[in-house]
């Protein structure tokens, strides 16, 4: 899993035919909402480096679009105060068209979109859920391990005695920890 690089023509949302936020609440739990904003920002920065997507000066600090196991399906993570509102998706033009056609057809016939009407629905949901589960893998800062929802205690970690290493964790980004000097941002300021 890494930050997506080419999203040309991709479209997405936080809801619609897929609701990754609802799946994230089931996978990650709602009990983390009190600290989720800060923890998720720190985790994403540590694991993936600085966000390649711009933020919204009005409401969003960062936005990450991450690859999944399915080509053309991307997990959108925009940390918010709630787990459920922090997740969305992007789809390649081809997958997006198939899913939208199925959704519009189901509205006409007043029926639900199932696997027979949209064969890629199940695989897309699985890819998004697998990506959310992947975010539970801990990364470390100094001697502390944490994942997208918070600290992972030492007793929760798996240790391979033979190799003498912690397993089931992920490496931090080589870009994590590097600051950006203020003069870089000066070019974005409006002349006054």
| CB half-sphere exposure, 20, CA atoms < 13 A | 27
Q: Tokens 């080509």 appear where?
A: 71
Q: 1-50: per-residue pLDDT in tens?
A: 999 988 889 988 888 778 898 899 999 887 566 788 888 999 999 999 88
Q: Judge whether residue 181 has pLDDT over 80.
A: no
Per domain, the residue ranges of the chain are 11-186
**Residue 185 binned pLDDT confidence (cut-offs 50, 70, 90):** confident
Calculate what percentage of the chain has a pLDDT beyond 90. 27
Q: What does the pLDDT average to over 167-184?
A: 80
What distance lies between CA 54 and its chain's CA centroid?
Answer: 15
Percent of the chain with pLDDT over 70: 93
Query: C-alpha dihedral over 130, 133, 139, 145, to 10 degrees?
Result: -170
Query: What is residue 103's three-state secondary structure?
Result: helix
Residues 6+ apart with CB under 8 A from 158: 166, 167, 168
Per-residue confidence at 70, pLDDT binned at 50, 70, 90? very high
Q: Is 60 exceeded by the pLDDT of residue 158? A: yes
**pLDDT beyond 90 at 117:** no
Separation of alpha carbons 36 and 152, rounded Å: 14
DSSP string spanning 48-113? H-S-SS---SSS-S--EEEE-SSTTEEEEE---SSSTTSEEEEE-HHHHHHHHHHHHHHHHHT---
Rounded to whole angstroms, how far apart are CA atoms 52 and 74? Answer: 14
Is residue 88 scored above 70 in pLDDT?
Answer: yes
Report field, pTM of the whole predicted structure over 0.75: yes
Q: What is residue 57's DSSP assignment? A: S
Question: 63: which 2 tokens?
Answer: 């936005």
What's the pLDDT band for 154 if we cut at 50, 70, 90?
A: confident
Tell which residue, 53, 64, 78, 48, has the closest CA to residue 175: 48
- Split at pLDDT 50, 70, 90, the class of 58 is confident
């Amino acid at each position: 899993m890494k930050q997506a690089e080419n999203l040309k023509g991709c479209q997405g949302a936080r809801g619609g035919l897929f609701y990754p936020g609802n799946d994230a609440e089931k996978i990650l739990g709602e009990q983390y909402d009190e600290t989720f904003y800060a923890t998720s920002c720190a985790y994403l920065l540590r694991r993936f480096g600085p966000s390649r997507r711009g933020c919204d000066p009005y409401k969003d600090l960062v936005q990450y679009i991450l690859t999944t196991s399915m080509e053309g399906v991307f997990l959108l993570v925009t940390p918010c105060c709630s787990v459920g509102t922090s997740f969305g998706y992007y789809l390649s033009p081809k997958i997006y068209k198939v899913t939208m056609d199925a959704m519009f057809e189901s509205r006409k016939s007043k029926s639900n979109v199932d696997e027979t009407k949209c064969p890629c629905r199940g695989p897309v949901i699985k890819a998004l859920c697998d990506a959310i589960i992947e975010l539970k893998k801990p990364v470390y800062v100094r001697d502390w391990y944490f994942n997208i929802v918070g600290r992972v205690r030492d007793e929760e970690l798996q240790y391979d005695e033979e190799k003498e290493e912690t397993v089931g964790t992920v490496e931090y980004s080589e870009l994590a920890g590097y600051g950006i000097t203020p003069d870089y941002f000066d070019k974005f300021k409006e002349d006054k």
